[in-house]
Amino acid sequence: MLAFLASAALPALRLLDPERAHTFAIRTLRWGLVPGAAEPDDPALAISAFGHRFANPIGLAAGFDKNAAAGPAIFRLGFGFVETGSVTPRPQTGNPRPRIFRLTEDRGVINRLGFNNLGLAVYLRNLAGLSDRNIPLGANVGINKDGADPVRDYRMLIEAIGTLADYAVINVSSPNTPGLRDLQSEAQLRAILHAVAGVAGRPPILVKIAPDLSSDGLASVVETCVTQGVQGLIVGNTTLSRPAGLKSHHAAQAGGLSGLPLQPLATAMLARASLLARGRLVLIGTGGVFTGRDALTKIQAGASLVQLYTSFAYHGPALIPRIKAELLTALRDAGFAAVQDAIGTRARELAEQD
């Protein structure tokens, strides 16, 4: 009930500038004012991936808690896992405001934040305070806009995180840092991953890719990740494309588009990645997940795990128990006994849709 009361405050928060509303949400979590999940998850929702058990496959995507500042309360909302960041070596303010735009009519968001964060030192202090957690924690890392050396910086970030996170994500797909998406090219990505692979005691490594990759680009990324010992892919980040039919007057804003309009593109890219990976990588699907049926579609496209962000921003904590209940119903309606049984069962079909 308290989760629904917390979500009931969302209409008032939507009267605020999106970035101010987001800051308020982080503070509310840090103060422990948001209630935790009431019931344990059904065992049918459990999944194991890269050496960890997830009580359910629904996770919070990077970008919500950039500085790992929300505190332990974020682990009590009912997510199966939480990913923090993106963090860069040095603090940076990001792009000028306004830089987040709600596309309410389209249930989407456009952002051009530009990796705004407090830097690695603050991030590590906050991560160290989250050691007493009951769900897996991810750390998403990026590079500064100025003065970056990708090979040096990504290696240093992974070394610094060490055992503070259960997995780490190399973010080479944000559209708001100039030149970052160029790091998805075979030669540059291989050099970064080769450097990271040499870090002793590192957590499992995943790579977050853009949904805008070409077919050849996606195939190259998948093979490079496999040969360099990467454990998984997150598919995908925000898109620079603008699907036909967007209604919001913010649709022409520059930046990356997330939310429901991204769903077809991201799901098709996920399915194509699944077919290319052939079980050699763990896939996390994100982009436009608003319901349990949306989550099942991502799983059937090839995802073992699913992440939310925009839908969580629109619906708040009450979304989490609802989406898990809907996923359980959708699984049973489709004849699956557990999440594991559904992975990739529609990959070939969904790869043809976008």
Catalytic residue at 248? no
- Helix count and strand count (H, E) for the chain: 13, 13
Tokens of 125: 């202090």
> 């949904």: which residue's tokens?
211
Q: Are 262 and 287 in contact (CB under 8 A)?
A: yes
Q: Are 109 and 102 in contact (CB under 8 A)?
A: yes
d(CA 74, CA 29): 6
DSSP string across 142-189 = ---SSS--HHHHHHHHHHHHTTSSSEEEEE---TTSTTGGGGGSHHHH
Judged on CB neighbours under 10 Å (0-12, 13-18, 19+), 131 is exposed
Dmax over CA atoms of the chain, in Å, equals: 53
d(CA 257, CA 107): 11
Beta bridge partners of 24: none
d(CA 286, CA 58): 10
Residue 19: strand, helix, or coil: helix
Closest by CA to 240, choosing from 221, 262, 219, is: 262
Provide the terminal-to-terminal Cα distance of the chain, rounded to the nearest Å. 38
Residue 54: strand, helix, or coil: strand
Residue 51: CB atoms within 10 A of its CB come to 11
Q: Which of 7, 86, 174, 274 does the annotation list as catalytic?
A: 174
d(CA 117, CA 93): 7
d(CA 302, CA 339): 11
Q: Catalytic amino acids? A: 174
